[in-house]
Amino acid sequence: MNTRIFIAFAVEDVRFRDALVAQAKNDKSPVEFIGMPTKESWNEKWQINCRARVKGCKGVVALISQHTAHAEGELWEILCAYEQGIPVMLMWIDDRRPALPVLIKGKRISIWSWDNLKTFIDQLRTP
């Protein structure tokens, strides 16, 4: 059975999300990545659906970049995970280190690597 992981990202960083999903497929990883459609409007219905999707996952991987501070949807997704006690892995996806939003300021942010991601996933799979 695959481990369901929610991917939170700023819409401007969709190519990084796509690369992550492709890498998992190439490595035949036992992970199912899910997220919210990028073309849906960010409204109350979207928030309700988002909360349900996050709740149905074992963990959340949040892709952190210069766009994160202004990505209301991504920040909402991360907040949903925190509120529901779902483990979150924050992961830098570029070399810039911008000012961080209060929600994630002071939190550990890992470097983008398959090994870091695999360690996070393995921790979720351990009972």
List domains and CATH numbers for the chain: 3-125 (3.40.50.450)
pLDDT of residue 114: 84
pLDDT of residue 97: 78
Considering only CA atoms, give the Rg of the chain.
14
Q: The pTM is what?
A: 0.91
Give me 22's structure tokens.
């492709």
75-119 pLDDT, tens digit per residue, is 999 999 999 999 999 999 988 777 899 999 999 999 988 889 889
32-85 pLDDT, tens digit per residue, is 888 887 766 678 888 899 999 999 999 999 999 999 999 999 999 999 999 999
| Band of pLDDT at residue 126, cut at 50, 70 and 90 | confident
pLDDT of residue 60: 97
Question: What are the two backbone dihedrals, phi and then psi, of residue 6, each rounded to the nearest 5 degrees?
Answer: -90, 135
Rounded to whole angstroms, how far apart are CA atoms 85 and 70? 24
